[in-house]
Structure 1
Amino acid sequence: MATETLYLANLAEEVAIQKDGIVSRTLQSDEVSKTVLFGFDTGQELSEHTASVPAMLQFLSGEGTVTLGDRSERIRQGTWAYMPAQLPHSIKNLERSLETDLHCTGEDHAEHHGFKLNNGNPGRRLAFTGMKEESRAETRRITLSYTDAQLHLEVRSCYEPVPGVPVIRRTVEIVNAGSEPVGVENVFSAVINGIGIGADRPWDERLWVHIPFSSWYTEGQWRRRRLWEYNMRSVKPFVDKPVRFGLNALAVTQTGSWSSLTHLPMAMLEDEDLDTTWFWQIEHNGSWNWEIGETWEGFLYVGIGGPNEIKNHWWKQLQPGESFTTVPVAVGVTHGGFQQAVRHLTTYRRTIITPHPDNRTLPVIFNDYMNCLWADPTTEKELPLIDAAARAGAEYFVIDAGWFIPPGDQWSSGVGIWQADDVRFPGGLSSLMDRIRAAGMIPGLWLEIEVASTHSALKDRPDSWFFCRHGKRIIDNGRWFLDFRNPEVVAYVDDVIDRLVRDFGIGYIKNDYNTTTKQGTDHDADSPGDGLLEHNRAFVAWIDGLHKRHPHLVFENCGSGGLRMDYALLSRAQLQSFSDQSDYRCNPSIVPGVLAACLPEQLAVWSYPINDRDPEEAVFNMVNAMLSRIHLSGRIAELKDEAFSRVREGIAVYKTYREHLPRMHPVYPAGTLPLEDRNTWHAFGLAHDSEPWALLAVWRLGSARSSWTVPLTFTGGIHAKVTQIYPQKPTALIYSNPLSPELKVTLEEPWTARLFRVAWGD
């Protein structure tokens, strides 16, 4: 039995629910369904709760039996826990909640709402028409169906429970069953209702929001703040009317094709009094939104979805017979806080990634860009790097940008054609690829396949190949954007990849993306956002086709580092570049934060020793990368023996445990570290999902203190045996307290790091 489970609570008639079955009264077509997600923890044993109104629970995952009696009877349950949103106290208050929030052009946006997107129409008047449950292979789908008689819309709200994880994947489909076009302005993929009900203190005194700020060089910067710090307050203490609510919403939005330019597409909302955290992830490689707002009844809702008209320039004219499906989002709930939510998301993400040998074997990659050749490769420069990378233990060797332009030209001016420059590579690029293979490594190349330089020969292609607005091609950073909705574009990029695989035998593509489309393209689209969304979907479909044609090709997703980090792409790409950050001292902040958003077996982290005489710098760099995917770079051919041996040793140690990383989850004994906290210590680890051990990285940054104690919060209170596994020497002075799960580490010099194995239990 899963420890934690998600359920759907639907205001209807009382009903008994059996394991894997649903017994319910079918609502009449003129009745509006009021449905809301709740969370349970099946690990607790509470015998009963009192329900004051009838309710229906649709059993979506897990096991158990619940019987709901009449208005005055009790909910009797076996080994169940309470609902974090306190169902017994909240059902009546949720009668106005919307399970599907939809707003169309020409409709009344009901009630006093400001810039909040909730309470749209026809969302408020949708009539429930039925529910269907389907099972295919290991997946289940529950679909709630609605109609709107005025606009002749059919709406299907889909729930896909994830076995063993308190997560549900959500989408909403809208079908125009009428004879007139209907303009869609906003539809959330998921709405969570009822947050903030059920504890003594007001929600603005006990709720914390976890927001992952992220940008170039500064990815994964989580901030835990009170809602009132974002101008979100309950207004009830300040008014003398019985019902009042705030018009503010905490809204986070991302517009354009860099899906994580300012924020990662996820967040969490923690209720410290109920020990409950809601979390969500938006799985889209373009524009998205989420908002937290207060309802008329005084509780909170979270609306989560893709683009809309107000914030992202998206508007869809739904023609008769046409349908539209929202971007998928994953929502979940757990007892505990940030770390527990990250664990569940980590488990969930492993259920949606495309199976590939790379994510099982986790080969070590050398890339010649960062603190190394800086997009200026030549045969002469590459040869010593090839030899050094092979001696260090790398298994892939990737030539980054610049291989396609003459020496002295700016590399970005040559994107689009992807022909190797013979001046850079006397004897041809193919001979250099042969040298890489002879050294025992698989060659790879950098591409920016979705764009073309304004100087490239693609300038003569028709405008339909490119993003356009107002009849003109969009130019950004010297690039045009290829439109993957056009089958001629897809055929062209397919030919490029096939040629590179055929002529050079590459087994790895680093696909970069160094600019953003902003609002999108209005060519052959109802709005710029509509064109962008359909292009986004066409691009991930292209990746699916790429894997079918070249199943062993490794695809790395990069967007000036981590500016396009989302699980529309990462459910298909094998690796994700974590950052363009070139200062290794910043990475103890960035890596743990980003690992809350990306699987460790997918996150490519730079290790780039620069100082050829400092072995401790090499160790620090290696520790940065050893809990994810090692992306080796730097001028490793120039490292002195001791520093180089530390690199080689780190890779050798990594290979002893890397097979376990796909079965490990992040742990945060010291929380997350802001980039500005430079004069401190930090620790981060990966704990095994089913075995009693973990890997723990400890960094002494610029702290003046030579010793630091880190709580081993992930051992379950059990005393642990701690062993330094990298480097073998010099060892840190460590003390594992037998009376308390904590570790004291002493490192004599600042800017040093060590990697430990922590084992507990039998």
Structure 2
Amino acid sequence: MPQDDRDRWTRSYPWSLSYRWGHSALTADFDLSGDTPRLVRVRHPGDPEPAVPEEGKAEVTLPLLDVVLLGDGVGYSGPRFTGTALGRRMTYRAHRSTYGDGWHRLTFELRDAASGLTAFVEYASPDGVAVLRSRVRLRNDGAGTVTARSVGSLLVGGLPGADELLVFRARNDWGAECRWYAEPLRDSVPDINREAHGHTGHAAARLAGRGSWPTDGHLAMGGLVHRTDARSWLWQIESASSWSWEAGEAEGHTYLALGGPNHDEHQWREVLAPGGEFTGEWAALALGTCFDGALAELTAYRRLVRRPHPDHERLPIVFNDYMNTLMGDPTTEKLLPLIDAAAEVGAEYFCVDAGWYDDEPEGEGAGGGWWDSVGAWLPSARRFPGGGIGVVLDRIRERGMVPGLWLEPEVVGVRSPLARELPDEAFLRHADGSRVTEQGRHQLDLTHPAARAHLDRTVDRIIGEWGVGYLKLDYNITTSAPGHLDHSRAWLAWLSSVLDRHPGLVVENCASGGMRMDGASLAVAQVQSTSDQQDPLRCPPIAASAPTAVPPEQGAVWAYPQPSYTDAEIAFTLGSALLGRVHLSGRLDGMTERQRGLVREALAAYKEIRGDLGAAVAFWPLGLPGWEDDWVALGVRGADVEAGPVYVSVWRRGGDVAERVLAVPRVAGLGERGVRVEVVHPQVTGGTAEWDGVGVRVRMPEAPMVVVLRVTVV
């Protein structure tokens, strides 16, 4: 039986100084020569073997894990990840390697005699995928209570020195999501002359996300790219709550530390009574020969860890009545003609967005008066007279579409009767016992059975009684109150239970657009909102960069053609969505038949493309886009670099340059031979594209303009 197929604990002996674990795409080397194991490096098996360190000098002196206890400190005047007192005290007890269901797994068991704390450092990697997943479990086997104030997920050293690396981060703001930028790691980690001081400096590149909008400000991701050979390390922290990471220097090498919430950044702590346990958040590290390659590995991994669902293969077109359309003011009168128009152009789902529950007097709704009264989630009699919301839902079904509704389940308005009916314990509360209240709303705590029962009744009524098959789950407040980590885990567990009961349901994860675009949420929801951007000219850099955070078949991109748009503007907004998930909106009911024909043609093109998106990985022929770039391009290709078509969306938003040449994988190096370039959208366009023997030459004489291309080898 292969070594990784065994399922038993093994012990290290003094003469067993190293341990190599992994598979064809990734190996991890561990140093077991001391009392405390160390993760020396993570690499591709084909990479050159590293140089042997000088005799008596350890390659990496970082401990295997980073845990800080209250009253224990970090043990060093520097970053908490490189000098934890507890991490260096944890002694090796055993390790176990297993293989099953396509995953290689490795667990180290460590023990601290002083505190009685036992730690299990868990690694996992899918066979053939260059991604290492890691987390830490703690168990208090001592006689006294211990309090953790930091539990890291992954600590790895042995990366190239800071001089050799660029550090990548992605700003993620409301309406301006997924804006990647890079700088030399040395800018954050100055060289202070380690030999003169006897140790490395305290500086590091650090980033943290806080509270219930974990991707507000930055994505819960990062990357390192070698400045010479482009080798890349790309990571995500899988938390729907707070997180932090840092990259710094130790022993002349770069280290990387990833983790969930901690006391210093987030005022988090976990009290463990004797016998108590706590499990940290998962983090994942992908390796690649370039940024795009590392992302391809991470994309494959994301598909493996998410909940299986037929939506990931079908990719139905969703019409949503909100963006630049009804804007939270739905009524039967407004919806019926919109439903007919959406069906006529080819939409397959129709989601009624915010406002359907609003029974405030005329003029106080549409996102105003109902804001602090939500919670019961019952349809408005005023908005849906003469048969109620059932008339609207029936019309959607009659027109061959699946009905959907918007819901913001985690909040209860301060004026809602539910705010009085539910006990205080059903809400997140501050240390003094008062309820968390933000913008006139209380935050439910899904760890409490009363909160879960309320939401179970709500969704079972909407899905089971009303026949709704799509839920857009929004979240428009943010808090970092104590207990939010437990709530976020309970929220995702509750959502999984809903999908267990209603397996055909499709769930969209939204938080004011992309403010909760994290790996933990993506593993449960089928569709991810990427933005609330209402300006079609500002959508391309978001749409082009979204695949860094979410696989193409999950990333919802708005397309909102309007009767007032020119043909080129209609094509432009539709083109932004065709390499992701089309979230159609716009006043289709006010369009001419010719204009609706343009929409119909674009959606027909999408239906040809979408079968290839579920296994596609992204690349950027013009580089990751800048927010103000005149030209933006996104490409997707099959995971097998030698098979299938390549699709490229190219936008020109302005500027004087009317022509660009794109480098496209799979066709580079073919010279004049056998490359076909087709414009699949729009059908009538002033843009042209051709293979010139070096790259794909795109000409767009006007701006704004878009072309979506299919590139094949013939």
Q: TM-score, normalised by structure 1?
A: 0.86
Range with bigger deviation, 349-358 or 241-250: 241-250
Distance 1:16 1:130, change over 3 A: closer
Distance 1:580 1:446, change over 3 A: same
Q: Distance in 2 between matches of 1:18 and 1:106?
A: 35
Distance 1:316 1:12, change over 3 A: farther
In the other structure, the counterpart of 1:490 is 452
In the other structure, the counterpart of 1:53 is none
Distance 1:105 1:94, change over 3 A: farther
In the other structure, the counterpart of 2:190 is 233
One of 151, 171, 185 as aligned partner of 1:213: 171
Q: Distance in 2 between matches of 1:580 and 1:444?
A: 18
Structure 1 residues 275-309: Cα deviation after superposition (integer angstroms, max 9, x where no partner): 321111111100000011222x2322111010000
Q: Does 1:417 align with 2:382?
A: no
Task: Check the 8 A contact 2:17/2:31 in 1, yes or no.
Answer: no
Range with bigger deviation, 602-611 or 579-588: 602-611
Shift of 1:532: 1.1
One of 334, 345, 358 as aligned partner of 1:392: 345
Supply the AA of the counterpart residue of 1:434: D
Question: Identity of paired residues, percent?
Answer: 35
Q: Distance in 2 between matches of 1:422 and 1:221?
A: 43
Task: Check the 8 A contact 2:60/2:157 in 1, yes or no.
Answer: no
Q: Distance in 2 between matches of 1:25 and 1:557?
A: 38
Distance 1:756 1:90, change over 3 A: farther
In the other structure, the counterpart of 1:579 is 531
One of 65, 85, 107 as aligned partner of 1:100: 65
Distance 1:19 1:732, change over 3 A: closer
Supply the AA of the counterpart residue of 2:512: S
Distance 1:272 1:90, change over 3 A: farther
- Aligned-partner SS, 2:548: coil
In the other structure, the counterpart of 2:486 is 534
- Aligned-partner SS, 1:135: strand
Task: Check the 8 A contact 2:553/2:580 in 1, yes or no.
Answer: yes
Supply the AA of the counterpart residue of 2:442: W
Q: Distance in 1 between matches of 2:186 and 2:645?
A: 39
Q: Distance in 1 between matches of 2:214 and 2:541?
A: 21
Supply the AA of the counterpart residue of 1:223: Y
Task: Check the 8 A contact 2:158/2:253 in 1, yes or no.
Answer: yes
Structure 1 residues 28-56: Cα deviation after superposition (integer angstroms, max 9, x where no partner): 9x8221223320253xxxxxxxxxxxxxx
Supply the AA of the counterpart residue of 1:615: D
In the other structure, the counterpart of 1:696 is 648
One of 139, 142, 152 as aligned partner of 1:178: 142
Task: Check the 8 A contact 2:404/2:471 in 1, yes or no.
Answer: yes
Structure 1 residues 362-418: Cα deviation after superposition (integer angstroms, max 9, x where no partner): 000000000000000001100111011001100000000000012432242332110
Shift of 1:228: 3.6
In the other structure, the counterpart of 2:425 is 464
Shift of 1:586: 0.8
One of 437, 462, 471 as aligned partner of 1:509: 471
Shift of 1:481: 0.2
In the other structure, the counterpart of 1:246 is 201
One of 453, 472, 477 as aligned partner of 2:413: 453
Distance 1:293 1:240, change over 3 A: closer
Q: Distance in 1 between matches of 2:327 and 2:540?
A: 23
Q: Distance in 2 between matches of 1:685 and 1:676?
A: 19
Supply the AA of the counterpart residue of 2:97: E
Shift of 1:639: 2.0
Aligned Cα RMSD in Å? 2.3
Shift of 1:95: 4.2
Please list, as runs of the form range in 1=range in 2, the aligned pairs for 1:152-301 lying within 5 A after superposition: 152-197=116-161, 203-204=162-163, 206-229=164-187, 231-236=188-193, 241=196, 243-295=198-250, 297-301=251-255
Q: Distance in 2 between matches of 1:125 and 1:482?
A: 40
Task: Check the 8 A contact 1:234/1:298 in 2, yes or no.
Answer: no
Task: Check the 8 A contact 1:404/1:414 in 2, yes or no.
Answer: no
One of 346, 353, 357 as aligned partner of 1:404: 357
Distance 1:613 1:228, change over 3 A: same
Supply the AA of the counterpart residue of 2:200: F
- Aligned-partner SS, 1:241: helix
- Aligned-partner SS, 1:468: coil
Distance 1:513 1:12, change over 3 A: farther
Please list, as runs of the form range in 1=range in 2, the aligned pairs for 1:356-755 lying within 5 A after superposition: 356-406=309-359, 407-408=362-363, 409=365, 410=368, 411-426=370-385, 427-460=387-420, 461-469=422-430, 470-518=432-480, 520=481, 528=482, 531-677=483-629, 680-690=630-640, 691-713=643-665, 715-719=667-671, 720-730=675-685, 732-738=687-693, 740=694, 742-755=695-708
Task: Check the 8 A contact 1:704/1:750 in 2, yes or no.
Answer: no
Q: TM-score, normalised by structure 2?
A: 0.92
Shift of 1:544: 1.0
Task: Check the 8 A contact 1:369/1:401 in 2, yes or no.
Answer: yes
Distance 1:16 1:683, change over 3 A: closer
- Aligned-partner SS, 2:549: coil
Equivalent pairs, count: 685
Supply the AA of the counterpart residue of 2:254: L
- Aligned-partner SS, 2:532: coil
Task: Check the 8 A contact 1:132/1:142 in 2, yes or no.
Answer: yes
- Aligned-partner SS, 2:205: strand
Supply the AA of the counterpart residue of 2:71: G
- Aligned-partner SS, 2:176: coil
In the other structure, the counterpart of 1:47 is none
- Aligned-partner SS, 1:385: helix
Supply the AA of the counterpart residue of 1:101: D
Q: Distance in 2 between matches of 1:516 and 1:453?
A: 14
Task: Check the 8 A contact 2:563/2:587 in 1, yes or no.
Answer: no
Distance 1:717 1:33, change over 3 A: same
Task: Check the 8 A contact 1:116/1:249 in 2, yes or no.
Answer: no
Task: Check the 8 A contact 1:116/1:247 in 2, yes or no.
Answer: no
Task: Check the 8 A contact 1:447/1:510 in 2, yes or no.
Answer: yes
Task: Check the 8 A contact 2:76/2:84 in 1, yes or no.
Answer: no
Task: Check the 8 A contact 1:13/1:25 in 2, yes or no.
Answer: no
Q: Distance in 2 between matches of 1:25 and 1:554?
A: 43
Q: Distance in 2 between matches of 1:317 and 1:344?
A: 37
Structure 1 residues 172-214: Cα deviation after superposition (integer angstroms, max 9, x where no partner): 11110011001111121001201224xxxxx23x210110110
Q: Distance in 1 between matches of 2:288 and 2:355?
A: 47
Supply the AA of the counterpart residue of 1:687: R
Distance 1:620 1:20, change over 3 A: closer
Gaps of 5+ in 2: 1-11
Distance 1:12 1:563, change over 3 A: farther
Supply the AA of the counterpart residue of 2:302: R
In the other structure, the counterpart of 2:76 is 111
Distance 1:20 1:109, change over 3 A: closer
Supply the AA of the counterpart residue of 1:286: S
In the other structure, the counterpart of 1:56 is none
Distance 1:534 1:15, change over 3 A: closer
Supply the AA of the counterpart residue of 1:235: I
- Aligned-partner SS, 1:646: helix
Q: Distance in 2 between matches of 1:222 and 1:382?
A: 39
Q: Distance in 2 between matches of 1:385 and 1:362?
A: 21
Shift of 1:482: 0.4
Gaps of 5+ in 1: 1-9, 43-80, 198-202, 521-527
Structure 1 residues 41-93: Cα deviation after superposition (integer angstroms, max 9, x where no partner): 53xxxxxxxxxxxxxxxxxxxxxxxxxxxxxxxxxxxxxx315xx35358944
Runs of 4+ in 1 over 6 A off after TM superposition: 15-22, 24-28
Shift of 1:724: 0.8
Shift of 1:441: 0.5
Distance 1:281 1:40, change over 3 A: same
Shift of 1:274: 4.7
Distance 1:15 1:483, change over 3 A: closer
Q: Does 1:122 align with 2:80?
A: no
Shift of 1:613: 4.6
In the other structure, the counterpart of 1:6 is none
Structure 1 residues 726-756: Cα deviation after superposition (integer angstroms, max 9, x where no partner): 1222352323112x1x122222211010111
In the other structure, the counterpart of 1:333 is 287
Task: Check the 8 A contact 1:171/1:326 in 2, yes or no.
Answer: yes
- Aligned-partner SS, 2:651: strand
